[in-house]
């Protein structure tokens, strides 16, 4: 299972990793990056802003992940949370759930961490996966991090077919909601944004309930919609089924899956899920077909 906290999986088969150069140096050896800033998102989630100690900025696709090294501690797979529309440092949002991610979350300006990647498949927001219809993005917890870059591009893309973007985000409680500023910006820029929490708190006047409770009132057109889902795996399959039940074609639903990503290039096999090596074939996969079946199977 998961060895360390990875905020997300991502990557798409349709485009080769931009700089990961599978089998090459960037894939196998951590490159030093300097932490030039950090932002505390919640009590246990921080976004790190990184620049390479040498060389130019990393090219990546929304949804891809890097292996981040806390030197002397270990390595963890963390999705890129930058948007390609942004200039500036590479961003990763990390939740402290184990020794490596705790070390990464403690990093501050001036610290150096290692970066390998980017790896894996992407969300396909350039059109191949999302088309010109509505796009429903459902995120649970820190699952919003791997989707951040994709949402930002979708919200600001030229809309040929009149498609709208619906962002439905769930969190445990109001204090665990990440990217509050981004959520407000996306809504201001035309997206339909809805946030719900499992447990309200004093002063919270927003939604309380599972993310699926917001699907009916969101207002998307199932016949033209595609969907992107990232979060805890149980939430993913529950949400995917709810979207299919409402008429979205399973072929147009993409999910982000993860197992124990280690090598990042499909060599070690630790991240195998059925026929897939998720670091290479995933983490982002179509829900239809094998994936929908695999999600229902017990691991042996």
Partner 1 sequence: MTTTVAELVASHPLLVGLPGDAVAEVAGCARNVAFAPEELLFVEGGPADTLYLVRRGRVAIEVHAPERGPIVIETVGPGGTVGWSWLVPPYRWQFDARAIGPVGAIAVDAACLRAKADADDALGHKLVSRVAAVLLERLQATRIRLLDLYGTHSDR
Nearer to partner 1, 73 or 210 (CB): 210
CA distance 13 to 122: 7
Smallest gap from Cβ 65 to partner 1, in A, equals 11
Q: Token match 């059925």: residue? A: 274
216 binds partner 1 (CB under 8 A): yes
Backbone phi and psi for residue 281, each to the nearest 5 degrees, phi listed first: -80, -25
Task: Count, in order, helices (H) and strands (E) of the chain.
Answer: 7, 15
Helix (H) or strand (E) holding 168: strand 165-171
Task: For 196, list phi and psi in degrees, rounded to 5.
Answer: -135, 155
**Binders of partner 1 among 41-70, rule CB under 8 A?**
44
Tell whether residue 178 is a contact of partner 1 (CB under 8 A). Answer: no
**Residue 102 in contact with partner 1, rule: CB under 8 A:** no
Please report whether residue 171 would count as binding partner 1 according to CB under 8 A. Answer: yes
Q: Among residue numbers 189 through 208, which ones bind partner 1 (CB under 8 A)?
A: 196, 198, 200, 202, 204-208
Q: Find the binder of partner 1 among 27, 138, 214, 240 (CB under 8 A).
A: 214
Tokens (6 digits) for 261: 């990503």
Q: How far is the CB of 231 from partner 1 (least distance, A)?
A: 6
User: Rounded to an integer, what is the distance from CA 282 to the centroid of its chain?
Assistant: 12
Buried b (16+ CB within 10 A) or exposed e, 196-208: bbeeeeeeeeebe
Structure tokens at 228: 């992107």
One residue of 89, 133, 222, 231 binding partner 1 per CB under 8 A = 231
Q: Does 121 bind partner 1 (CB under 8 A)?
A: no
Q: Applying CB under 8 A, which of residues 62, 140, 149, 264 lies at the interface with partner 1?
A: 140
State yes or no: residue 101 binds partner 1 (CB under 8 A).
yes
Question: How many residues touch partner 1 (CB under 8 A)?
Answer: 44
187 binds partner 1 (CB under 8 A): no
Nearer to partner 1, 8 or 135 (CB): 8
Q: Which residues contact 150 (CB under 8 A, 6 or more apart)?
A: 62, 63, 122, 123, 125, 137, 228
**280 part of the interface to partner 1, by CB under 8 A:** no
Q: How far is the CB of 115 from partner 1 (least distance, A)?
A: 19
Residue 190 and residue 156: Cα distance in Å, rounded?
A: 9
- For partner 1, the closer of residues 26 and 76 by Cβ is 76
User: Quick one: 156 or 207, whose CB is closer to partner 1?
Assistant: 207
User: In sequence order, what DSSP letters do the residues of 79-103 get, joined into one string?
Assistant: EB---TT--SSEEEEEE--SHHHHH
Backbone φ and ψ for 44, nearest 5 degrees, come out as: -125, 15
Binding of partner 1 by 143 (CB under 8 A) = yes
| Residues near partner 1 (CB under 8 A) | 2, 4-8, 44, 95, 97-98, 101, 140-143, 145, 170-172, 176, 196, 198, 200, 202, 204-210, 212-214, 216-217, 230-232, 234-235, 238, 242, 258
């Amino acid at each position: 299972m998961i060895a360390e906290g990875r905020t997300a999986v991502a990557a798409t088969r349709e485009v080769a990793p931009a700089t990961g150069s599978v089998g090459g140096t960037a894939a196998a050896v951590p490159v030093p990056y300097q932490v030039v800033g950090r932002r505390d998102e919640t009590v246990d989630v921080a976004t790190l802003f990184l620049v390479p100690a040498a060389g130019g900025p990393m090219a990546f696709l929304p949804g891809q992940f890097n292996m981040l090294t806390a030197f002397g501690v270990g390595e963890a797979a963390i999705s890129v949370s930058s948007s390609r529309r942004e200039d500036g440092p590479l961003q990763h949002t990390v939740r402290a759930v184990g020794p490596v991610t705790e070390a990464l979350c403690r990093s501050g300006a001036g610290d150096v961490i290692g970066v390998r990647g980017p790896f894996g498949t992407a969300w396909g927001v350039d059109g191949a996966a999302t088309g010109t219809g509505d796009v429903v993005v459902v995120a649970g917890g820190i699952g919003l991090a791997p989707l951040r870059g994709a949402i930002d591009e979708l919200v600001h893309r030229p809309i040929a077919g009149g498609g709208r973007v619906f962002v439905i985000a769930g969190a445990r409680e109001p204090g665990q909601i990440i990217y509050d500023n981004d959520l407000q910006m996306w809504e201001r820029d035309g997206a339909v944004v809805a946030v719900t929490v499992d447990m309200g708190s004093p002063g919270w006047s927003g939604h309380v309930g599972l993310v699926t409770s917001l699907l009916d009132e969101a207002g998307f057109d199932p016949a033209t919609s595609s969907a992107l889902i990232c979060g805890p795996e149980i939430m993913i399959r529950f949400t995917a089924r709810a979207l299919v039940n409402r008429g979205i074609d399973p072929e147009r639903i993409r999910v982000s899956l993860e197992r124990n990503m280690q090598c990042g290039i499909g060599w070690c096999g630790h991240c195998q899920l059925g026929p897939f090596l998720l670091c290479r074939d995933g983490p982002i996969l179509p829900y239809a077909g094998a994936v929908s079946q695999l999600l229902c199977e017990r691991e042996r």
